[in-house]
Amino acid sequence: MYLTSEKKQEIFKAKGFQKSESDTGSAESQIALFTYRISHLTEHLKKHKHDYATRVGLLKLVGKRRRLLDYLTKTDIERYRAIIAELGIRK
């Protein structure tokens, strides 16, 4: 899946809790990007059930997002709760 720079900036601005205009590396921004990609891959796998390479990539993305969410719980629980509420992710 290819994301243009404009689409990434749109995701970061809409749901990433950007601290500045060029903030793309914060945990919230990365979690928002991973969530978008996970939802896209999930829709792809609903149509193509036997695409195992994509399934492996999806599981890796879910693991990366989980690690970032765990990091946020350890460092700042309020940021964690805010991003969970914004993106509609449940633990």
- Segments making up each domain of the chain, as ranges: 26-87
Q: What is the pLDDT of residue 91?
A: 57
Is the pLDDT at 1 greater than 60? The verdict is no
Q: Which CATH superfamily is domain 26-87 in?
A: S15/NS1, RNA-binding (1.10.287.10)
* CB 91, CB 69: distance < 8 Å: yes
d(CA 4, CA 48): 24
For the stretch 34-51, pLDDT in tens is: 999 999 999 999 999 999
